[in-house]
Structure 1
Amino acid sequence: MFGTRGQGIGLVFAAILLGMTAPAQAGDERVQYASLYASLGDNTRSPIGWVEFCADNPGDCRGGATQPRDIVMTQTAWKDLLRVNRWVNETIKPMTDMDHWGVIEKWSLPTDGYGDCEDYVLLKRKMLIDAGWPREALLVTVVRDKKGEGHAVLTVKSDKGEFILDNQNESVVAWTETGYRFVKRQSQGDPNVWVALGDSRPAVATASARDR
């Protein structure tokens, strides 16, 4: 999966997966709390770069309607989220798509150890799915960060609410604690369907790499 510098990354990646346990899935009977879950709007366009990523990585974008499921947020599941978020943030080095690929926007798995916000998200999502977590609970999400710039994060839907894995934050926090405006994300029912989250202004996930 990883080449050159990424070979070492791949070995640690595999070791982390071996130590993780997929959380249980919560059924539809869970109580809804508006403050814990973002309000969903109509279907909308996928972010720039997503279609091209799926064309290059069809295994990461398998479509088809599935039953939405949230995970049960146990202490073990929480520790796994913290571990994945921290490891990816510390291991992948920030680099803009222009510096990396010579284009404004390109979604890709950071197989060479470099990437920008959406690449961090894609790797975290892949690590959790490979460890047995349900795809339906791991949603690529486009937001506007505290500077008003487009940014990508990973939303994890659980019976305790929605939590965010973010390359700009070493902690995993509730979506309401990020200070971000949530624009759009993948549908739980189909990874290639995107739904609006209440901000009608266009947002492209071209945030600069994490400040260090």
Structure 2
Amino acid sequence: MQRTLGPVVAAAVAVMIGGVSWARAALLTVPTAPQPALAHIELGRPTLPPLTFTMFCLRYEAECRLRRTFRGGPTRLTKERWAELKALNRAVNRAIAPQPNELGLAGEEWIVNPDRGDCNDYAVSKRHELLQRGWPARVLLLSEVVTGSGDHHLVLVVRARTGDLVLDNLTPEIRLWSRVQYGWVRMQMPSDSRMWATTGRPAA
């Protein structure tokens, strides 16, 4: 049965946003890309999505349905949207207790807003909550990366005009993709979130 913490997350986001003070919150400065070449992740050829993503779409059909109103490119990150993004990222990170998957592929399951979960659950929960708040699917891209220890890891990339931003359960900070120490493997395609593509190397 699907478990949800939707109301809890929503309440936490409301409290966080309500307490934002732009005059003294230096960390809420909207990020800017240091160089145009580093702004967005380069997508390569189409590739198969993770098997667990296919299983996720069978369980959560609404999360994966094709939204035919695809228009425009990256979203404009206003101060209000930046505040909402930071609050949502922190709320989900706090609402889900970390529970590493020790069974490998056999124990892999992506769940929206569980009580406990791993990186996959954090990423799909953040995407779900942002979709519920009206963010377009074309800018909410699940991305598979490899950590410095060689582990495969799932994060949510938010495609903003100033650059691709990484929402990660391993850190409370939202950072530009070019400033995280990950190897990029594959990512959802903005034109159709059911499709995935390989990702290019960071620009030098």
Structure 2-normalised TM-score? 0.80
Cross-structure match for 2:7: 11
2:47 corresponds to 1:44: yes
Counterparts of 2:106 and 2:117, CA distance in 1: 13
8 Å Cα contact 1:165-1:173 kept in structure 2: yes
Percent identity over paired residues: 31
Cross-structure match for 2:58: 55
CA drift of 1:104 comes to 3.1
2:98 corresponds to 1:94: yes
1:34 alignment partner AA: A
SS at match of 2:193: coil
1:93 alignment partner AA: A
1:74 alignment partner AA: T
SS at match of 1:49: helix
User: How does 1:71-150 map onto structure 2 within 5 Å?
Assistant: 71-98=75-102, 103-111=106-114, 113-150=115-152
Q: Deviations over 1:123-156 (max 9, x none)?
A: 1001111011111100000001121210000000
CA drift of 1:182 comes to 1.0
2:188 corresponds to 1:186: yes
1:72 alignment partner AA: R
CA drift of 1:85 comes to 1.0
8 Å Cα contact 2:9-2:88 kept in structure 1: no
2:169 corresponds to 1:162: no
SS at match of 1:192: strand
CA drift of 1:109 comes to 1.4
8 Å Cα contact 2:67-2:137 kept in structure 1: no
CA drift of 1:90 comes to 1.3
Query: How many residue pairs end up in the alignment?
Result: 182
SS at match of 1:184: strand
Counterparts of 1:68 and 1:103, CA distance in 2: 39
* Aligned-residue RMSD, C-alpha: 2.5
CA drift of 1:68 comes to 5.1
1:11 alignment partner AA: P
SS at match of 1:73: coil
Shift of the 143–55 alpha-carbon distance from structure 1 to 2, 3 Å rule, reads same
1:106 alignment partner AA: E
CA drift of 1:16 comes to 5.0
